[in-house]
Amino acid sequence: MIRFSVKSGAAAKQRCACVIVGVFEGRKLSAAAADVNAAAAGRITSVLRRGDLSGKLGKTLLLHAVDGTFTDRVLLVGCGRERDLSDGKYRRIVAAAIGALRETGAADAACYLADLQLKGRDLAWKVRQIVEVTHDTLYRFDRLKSKKADEDHLRALTINLPSRRDLRTGEQAIRIGEAVAHGARLTRDLGNLPPNVCTPAHLATEARALARRYRSLRVGVLDRARMERLGMGALLAVARGSHQPPQLITIEYRGGEGRPVALIGKGITFDSGGISIKPAANMDEMKFDMCGAAAVIGTLAAVAELKLPLNVVGVVPAAENLPGGNASKPADIVTTLSGQTVEILNTDAEGRLILCDAMTYAERTFAPRIMIDIATLTGACVIALGSHATGLFSNHEPLARALLAAGEAAGDRAWQLPLWDDYQQQLDSNFADMANVGGREGGSITAACFLSRFARKLHWAHLDIAGTAWRSGKQKGATGRPVALLVQYLLDLGAG
């Protein structure tokens, strides 16, 4: 694992394997690059005049044996046009620097990217982003490969700050960034595991392991028999086709006074669609259908590491959705824990069924002041927002605004979609209180409308992470989102 630290000092005087400095388009040097350039008798400007680096965003150039400095290497990172620098571009700059550094033999480096001026962002934000982006860039998942990738040489990264007065701020930012990164890593690891390993029982095992690591966490698990006695007809209906028994996992964190914030994470460890089976193409990606559950577990890990001054409870309904002789069928009617009945018109709309019982259980058991569910719920949300923003729905506008602001601050953005009563009628059923689907039109909205019927007495928000929880294609894998958003929201709530 890489070790982070902060210090204050001139770039040209750093004794380390590599110094990282920024260069803007138009051959404009950052303050740190100018310092190195002056010590090196204009070597950087000479390189730029030759056209070896234009300053284009994300481009890098590694210089060796730079006279006048004490470092083995100087890594120049293109920052684009200075006036166009934004949050997203800043993260791309950091990712490019760490990616290039990874290809060298440098064991340690001094990073001078926190001195870049970014409108509306303070030093703590930039330090935290360096930590989180570094972890994200260096992440790999090869635990199930017979031949492991070579270990990264980079072991330590020192983030330079403008003044010694900033050291305490920088240290606290590193602490937060590390906690978020560790939570996101746990989330990614769980999401990337294959479904024959990451079963509902495995999620319960991971939760118990977390409780052994952090004394502030307490874990409970309900088995099928207990859920049957309670009357969780919707959750159990989803699990009927699988030989893997369902689990309802609770993770309680007590760090303060008052009613908790409840995080409910969808834990479908594999989603075939059930009787309404999915097409074969890309069905392997349905192992990621438990990324909401993974995000809840990762968030609770970060909360415990940061020792936040509030109470949080995670509730994870976990099951497999498979076809089988005992599987639920289209037209089945089930009774939820709340007593409301649901006609199952499509067995591939199973996430809302396990969530609704988990939401009712959380409300009755923990009396939360706020409830947020996190779910890879609808393909319709992917069509609406792509892979850039999480879909956000809420019955409480201040909660929605707080989550949106947290997403902007954390670089883990969400976008609010309507939750109007006009959409509710699409869920009408001739035979039950409601149907579990409302047609193709506004599919992500009607899914949220369904869940809203189980949160009428609560300040509630729904995060549809179907587009943001994992990447497809060559870079296939879990992203760890929306851990950063959730931790930032809880940080803001705890500070308030």
Whether residue 269 sits in one domain with residue 124: no
Any idea what the CATH number is for the domain that residue 105 is in? 3.40.220.10
Whether residue 152 sits in one domain with residue 190: no
Whether residue 251 sits in one domain with residue 113: no
Q: Is the pLDDT of residue 496 over 80?
A: no
Q: How far apart are CA 148 and CA 210, in angstroms?
A: 26
Please report whether residue 472 resides in a domain: yes
Burial class (CB in 10 A: 0-12, 13-18, 19+), 468: buried
**Tens digits of residue pLDDT in 388-444:** 999 999 999 999 999 999 999 999 999 999 999 999 999 999 999 999 999 999 999
**Tens digits of residue pLDDT in 295-344:** 999 999 999 999 999 999 999 999 999 999 999 999 999 999 999 999 99
pLDDT of residue 148: 83
Please report whether residue 363 resides in a domain: yes
Exposure string for 319-334, b = 16+ CB within 10 A, e = fewer: bbbbbeeebbeeebeb
Collapsed DSSP state (helix, strand, coil) of residue 406: helix
Residues 113 and 150 sit within 8 Å (Cβ to Cβ): no
Q: Is the pLDDT of residue 76 over 90?
A: yes
What is the percent of the chain with per-residue pLDDT over 90, rounded to a whole number?
A: 97
Whether residue 413 sits in one domain with residue 300: yes
Mean pLDDT, the chain, rounded, equals 97
pLDDT of residue 492: 97
The count of domains in the chain is: 2
Whether residue 104 sits in one domain with residue 208: no
Exposure string for 42-79, b = 16+ CB within 10 A, e = fewer: ebbbebbeeeebebebbbbbebeebeebebbbbbbbbb
Whether residue 187 sits in one domain with residue 142: no
Whether residue 204 sits in one domain with residue 274: yes
Domain boundary among 112, 127, 161: 161
Enter the tokens of residue 55. Answer: 């300053």
Please report whether residue 171 resides in a domain: no
Whether residue 205 sits in one domain with residue 268: yes
Whether residue 261 sits in one domain with residue 133: no
**Tens digits of residue pLDDT in 448-478:** 999 999 999 999 999 999 999 999 998 899 9
Give me the active site residues, please: 278, 352
Please report whether residue 319 resides in a domain: yes
Band (pLDDT 50/70/90 cuts) for residue 147 is confident
**Tens digits of residue pLDDT in 42-62:** 999 999 999 999 999 999 999
Mean pLDDT of 126-140: 97
pLDDT of residue 151: 81
Please report whether residue 170 resides in a domain: no
Please report whether residue 72 resides in a domain: yes
Q: Which residues pair with 315 in a beta bridge?
A: 250, 264
Q: Residue 24 sits in which domain range?
A: 3-161
Whether residue 221 sits in one domain with residue 108: no
Whether residue 266 sits in one domain with residue 135: no
Whether residue 235 sits in one domain with residue 141: no
pLDDT of residue 424: 98
Residues 36 and 74 sit within 8 Å (Cβ to Cβ): yes
Domain boundary among 103, 131, 161: 161
Any idea what the CATH number is for the domain that residue 435 is in? 3.40.630.10
Domain boundary among 161, 195, 224: 161
Q: Give residues with Cβ within 8 angstroms of 198, minimum separation 6.
A: 190, 269, 287, 290
pLDDT of residue 116: 96
Query: Which is nearest to 129 in space by CA: 93, 79, 84?
Result: 93
